[in-house]
Chains A and B, each alone.
Chain A
Amino acid sequence: MANKHVNAIVVGAGAGGGVVAKELAVNGLSVVLFERGRWQTYDEHDNDELISQRTTVLGNAFGPDNERHWRLLMDAHGNEHIVLPNEWGYNNNAACVGGGTLSYGAMAWRFMPQDFKMRSTYGSVEGSTLEDWPISYQELEPSYEKAEWEIGVAGDDSQNPFAPPRHKPHPMPPFPYNKEAKMMQDAAKRLGWHPFPIPMLRNSVRYRGRPACIRMRTCVGFACPVNAKCGTQNTVIPEALKTNNCILRTECTVSMVLVDDRGHATGVEYFDEHNRRQTQTADIVVLAASATETPRLLLNSKSRLFPNGAGNNSDLVGRNLQGHAYTGAFGLFEEEVYDDIGPGACVAICDFNHGNPGLKGGGLLANEFIRLPYLFTGIRPPASKRWGTEHKEFQKKYFKRHAQAVGPIQEMPVFDARVQVDDTVKDFWGMPVAKLSGHRHPYDLELTDFLSRKAETWMKECGAVKTWRHQPGLGLSGGQHQAGTCRMGDDPQTSVTNKYGQVWEIDNLFIADASLHVTNGGFNPALTILALGYWVGDYIVREWRGTKFKS
Chain B
Amino acid sequence: MPSSRRQFLKQAASGFAGTVLLGACAATPKSRWRFFTREEASLVDLITEQIIPTDDTPGGIEAGCLNFIDKQLVGAYRRHQNEYRQGLLGLQNSSRGKFGKTFQELDWPEQTDVLDAIEAGDVEAADWSGVSPQRFFQLIRDHTMQGFYGSPRHGGNKNYLSYRMLELDVPHIIGQNRYTQGLDKPNGWIN
Contacts and interface: CB of A to CB of B under 8 A. Distances in A.
Interface of A: 47-50, 57-59, 149, 169-173, 176, 204-209, 212, 214-218, 225-226, 340-342, 372-374, 376-377, 386-389, 391-392, 395-396, 399-400
A400 B153 contact: no
A400 B57 CA distance: 17
A37 B166 CA distance: 36
Contacts of A392: 52-53, 55, 57, 59
B45 to A, nearest CB: 15
A205 B179 CA distance: 11
A171 B187 contact: yes
B186 A215 contact: no
A145 to B, nearest CB: 11
A218 B191 contact: no
B190 A207 contact: yes
A204 B179 CA distance: 10
A65 B173 CA distance: 30
Given A58-B72, A341-B179, A387-B50, A377 B145 contact: yes
Interface of A is mostly: loop
A342 B178 CA distance: 10
Given A48-B153, A49-B150, A215-B178, A389 B55 contact: yes
Contact of B51 (A205, A373, A387): A387
Interface residues of B, number: 45
Nearest 8 CB-CB pairings of A with B:
A171-B188, A373-B149, A215-B177, A374-B149, A50-B150, A209-B191, A48-B151, A377-B145
A240 to B, nearest CB: 17
Contact of B145 (A341, A374, A388, A389): A374
A208 B188 CA distance: 9
Given A340-B169, A400-B167, A50 B191 contact: no
A57 B146 contact: yes
Contacts of A149: 188
B172 interface: yes
B107 interface: no
Nearest to B191: A209
Contacts of A217: 168, 172
29 contacts: A48-B153, A48-B154, A50-B150, A50-B154, A58-B150, A170-B187, A173-B187, A176-B183, A204-B183, A205-B185, A207-B191, A208-B190, A208-B191, A214-B176, A217-B168, A226-B175, A341-B179, A342-B177, A373-B168, A374-B145, A386-B141, A387-B50, A387-B52, A387-B115, A388-B50, A388-B52, A391-B51, A396-B57, A400-B166
A50 B57 CA distance: 23
Nearest to A172: B186
B168 A340 contact: yes
Contacts of B166: 373, 395-396, 399-400
B165 interface: yes
Contacts of A391: 51-52
A209 B151 CA distance: 32
Contact of B163 (A59, A373, A386): A373
A399 B168 CA distance: 10
Interface in B117-155: 141-142, 144-146, 149-151, 153-154
Interface in B36-57: 50-53, 55, 57
Contact of A207 (B51, B176, B188): B188
A386 B140 CA distance: 12
B162 interface: yes
A226 B177 CA distance: 13
Given A50-B150, A215-B177, A374-B149, 4 more contacts: A49-B151, A176-B179, A392-B59, A400-B167
B178 to A, nearest CB: 5
A173 B51 contact: no
A205 B187 CA distance: 10
A57 to B, nearest CB: 6
Contacts of B150: 48-50, 58, 374
A388 B137 CA distance: 13
A205 B186 contact: yes
Contacts of B184: 205
B145 to A, nearest CB: 4
Interface of B: 50-53, 55, 57, 59, 72, 76, 112, 115, 141-142, 144-146, 149-151, 153-154, 162-163, 165-169, 172, 174-179, 181, 183-191
Nearest to B151: A48
B115 to A, nearest CB: 8
Nearest to B152: A48
A214 B178 contact: yes
Contacts of B112: 388
B146 to A, nearest CB: 6
Nearest to A59: B76
B175 A214 contact: yes
A370 B131 CA distance: 35
A173 B186 contact: yes
Contacts of A225: 174
A216 B174 contact: yes
Contacts of B55: 389, 392
Contacts of B177: 214-216, 340-342
Given A47-B151, A49-B151, A388-B50, A171 B186 contact: yes
B86 to A, nearest CB: 21
Contacts of A209: 191
A388 B188 contact: no
Given A58-B72, A374-B145, A396 B165 contact: yes
A389 B53 contact: yes
A218 B172 contact: yes
A341 B180 CA distance: 12
A458 to B, nearest CB: 25
A64 to B, nearest CB: 15
A58 B143 CA distance: 10
B146 A374 contact: yes
A50 B142 CA distance: 12
A149 to B, nearest CB: 6
Contacts of B142: 57
A65 to B, nearest CB: 12
Contacts of B179: 176, 215, 341
Contacts of A48: 150-151, 153-154
Contacts of B187: 169-173
Nearest to B165: A396
A389 B57 CA distance: 11
Contacts of B154: 48, 50, 58
Contacts of B57: 392, 396
A55 to B, nearest CB: 9
A380 to B, nearest CB: 12
A169 B188 CA distance: 9
